[in-house]
Copies of this chain bind each other. A is one copy, B any other.
């Protein structure tokens, strides 16, 4: 498979750019999250609700990755975020150079946290670092409870898993404990939030974590209680 051979230098170059982004954000005491999921798991709605709840408390800058359309950027901008849209025109994931260029267009004054919403894709984005301090994978209760086992790489590289659409649990066959067990078997340090953007359930805990994360007090290594807490 020549593709694999070729991909390594590209990934290495991406890693270098990602490191540069991370350092440049760190110099401004700004931390970044990379949010990933299947199409339709609810990333954009989660960001809308998050920005609304944290307005006046934490300024959020959002880089919106989409293959086409500016619809998501318009939604989070309306919610109150500083926003830049990246359209990849076919590409299945964001790469660090796209984020670097987008950052040139983002007014960072007043921003306390940078969130990058990746392309809806549970596979490819896992391989491309974007300069984030932590990665968040969003799953939803309507996707089936076998996703960690079937797409393990995404759960292995993430620090946080959000389980969204709790409000739909009564109407679907979804074993919440099974999903958490599968995910933690792949990545025992995964921090887990369960929430519903529709009812608001669980959003407070998520938003509090974001505030702490933005202040540099939370990262993947500072959740020692999670494996016991969630099983």
Contact = CB atoms under 8 A, between A and B. Distances in A.
For this chain, the copies found in one complex come to 2
A150 B38 contact: no
Contact of A143 (B2, B7, B40): B40
A124 B92 contact: yes
Interface string A58-95: 00000000111101000000000000000000101000
Interface stretch (A16-24, A115-123, A221-229): A115-123
Contact of A121 (B69, B122, B142): B122
Contacts of A38: 38-40, 120, 143
A217 to B, nearest CB: 33
A68 B150 contact: yes
- Which interface class (under 10, 10 to 19, 20 to 34, 35 or more) fits A? 35 or more
Label chain A's interface by main secondary structure.
loop
Interface in A16-41: 38-40
Contact of A168 (B71, B146, B172): B172
Interface centre among A42, A119, A123, A165 (most CB of B within 10 A): A123
A40 B140 CA distance: 9
Interface string A139-162: 010111011011111000000000
Contacts of A68: 149-152
Contact of A6 (B2, B42, B67, B172): B2
Nearest to A124: B92
Given A121-B122, A124-B123, A146 B71 contact: yes
Given A39-B122, A42-B144, 7 more contacts: A3-B7, A38-B40, A67-B151, A69-B146, A92-B92, A121-B122, A168-B168
